[in-house]
Structure 1
Amino acid sequence: MSEVRIDVHRDATEVTQALRRDVREGLTAEAKWLPSKWLYDARGSELFDRITTVPEYYPTRAEREILRSAAPEIAAVTGMRTLVELGSGSGEKTRLLLDAGTEHGGLRRFVPLDVSSSALSASVDAIASEYPALRVDGVVADFTEPLDSLPGTAPRLVAFLGGTIGNFLPAERAKFFSSVRSVLGEGEWFLLGTDLVKDADTLVAAYDDAEGVTAEFNRNVLRVLNDRLGADFDPAAFEHVAHWDDRHEWIEMRLRALRPMTVTIPGADLTVRFAEGEYVRTEISAKFRPDAVRAELADAGFTLRHWWTDPEGRFAVSLSEART
């Protein structure tokens, strides 16, 4: 097995404090909301893995198709010695990049970063056993907060895949891109997966599958609040809703209260009242147009060098270079 290390930048106490702050801010707002990152405890991660296999959810398949074709070129262009993955995964997409990097001859280190220590430990162990020549340095951290530093020998390739960038509001995206740029040196690389604008029916179906897996995933955020903050949510009292916002060009995932209720959240010292039909927004998933992606990256100090899409033009992977 390869050399393995896990650095914890956020312990359980800090995670709980962050959750408490988000809950107090989001559930006391006039239009209630919760950050999508709290969907992903161990159970939420398992449910999302199931979502990626349902027929309606095309992004994972489309991105995997792109990377299967483009990974050798990515490795050759970047000459990456370190691969950093934000929101780490242990699936085929990660392995496509690792295979290409090791076969190209330059990749020596893999740095997966994730907010979930349990998910990260499983990922690190799996990768270390399959790639014994790689050094694997896991980092428990929240990539939605400013990145202080990232380990590894240059040139580094930072990968942010799965269309997760769509979960950021525009101002949050700008902050995130600038944060990534700040930890990269001139000539290092950023690999980004973006879901593209398409017809509303396809988009809504991807976030409201017939099997109901996405609905269960969405309600999981309430179970997280019950488990971590002692709340008394009844998840069955909320209906999953996927809504396409044509003006902002994003999907909103919401939970709709099926009846009036009062919920206590002792860990946040909060009591929350819901009217029948009231929404809680739990996620946005923005969809992108090529020129907008290029412009946002340029504003943060990146030059877009390569752009790949799947044959149907549903999803894009872009490779950008850090520049002054």
Structure 2
Amino acid sequence: MRLLEAIVEANQRAVAGGLKANLNAPEFSDALPLVALTCIDPRLNRLVPEMLGVPEEQFIWLRTAGNIITGPLSSTLRSLALACAVKGGKEIAILGHTDCLVCKTTVMKLTDGFRALGVDRAKLPENLNEYFGLFASERQNVIRGAEIVRQSPLIGANVPVHGLLMDVQTGKLEWLVNGYQTLGVTAPSFVEAVRQTAVEMVKQTATEALDLVAAKLPEFKLGEMKFPEFKIGETTIDPNKWLSQLQSATAAKSEPQPAEGVQQPATEPERKFDQTRKYRVIGADQKVYGPIDGSKILEWVADGRIDWQTASQIDGSGEWKPLSAWAEGPKPATIPLPPPIHPAPRLQKIRKH
């Protein structure tokens, strides 16, 4: 029996009997110490490593929010690699848990949390999901983390990398990834890993750029750009017109600009927007948020989290419109015009013969 097989068996006995898992550590001395990456959730403090049955002196415990691993060369991978190379770790376990708060966190909740700490949205990365590694499933996060570690050039091919999920209520383990089945898998070289990471970053940057173009220039379509049809040497710019445009641009730049910190006048939609109502909006993650006070809506618009084209509805109305539609106000009533008056027909006198 190998180490993780013994750990899972001891855990099952402990859950069934309500006792701590007991593992005969000397029997598995060639597989210890065990390196474990877990979440920072304090509910794990009473469960780990007792429910695994591993003695504390043979347990190297690393913790990150959501046991998230963002890449094969990330700082988390460096810590795992050092735990093996310096502290002598023989096997690695990515240990997630149920009811993870990071899993429940949305982009809106994250930006609100940072805002409460004094961090503006403009100072945060454009793609918060990608940067913080947010996930929607604890199991998928564990599986993905184990795959990233297995493919890292910093981890030896003979180091088993397991994936486990722990129930925070009972301490029961679910073995998701059996690291013994992938022993000997050759990871890419460090240079290749750097290249792959760079390629992924370029792809992500390109995707974000295209999304930005689609959001800011909805009329622009890729593939419709054509070269100008004129002959080589043909003058396409009127010098007099160009000089006039240059002078206009120079004059515009010389106009006094508002000083920083001076509050700008409200825009037309802001002045007409009814802040006394409550609204629901659809965020960039396609989730519905609300009901939200009108004043909060204006804060989100100012922060750039939503804009006046964001799909929204007045709470209880059931009708979805762009946010700007609620700032247009009621249209003036149409006054019906009276029917047209036609002149009476002229009477002709009958002549007597």
**Higher RCO structure, 1 or 2 (CA under 8 Å, sep 6+):** 1
TM norm. shorter chain > 0.5: no
Max Rg structure: 2
**TM-score, with structure 1 as normaliser:** 0.30
Return the structure number with greater strand share. Answer: 1
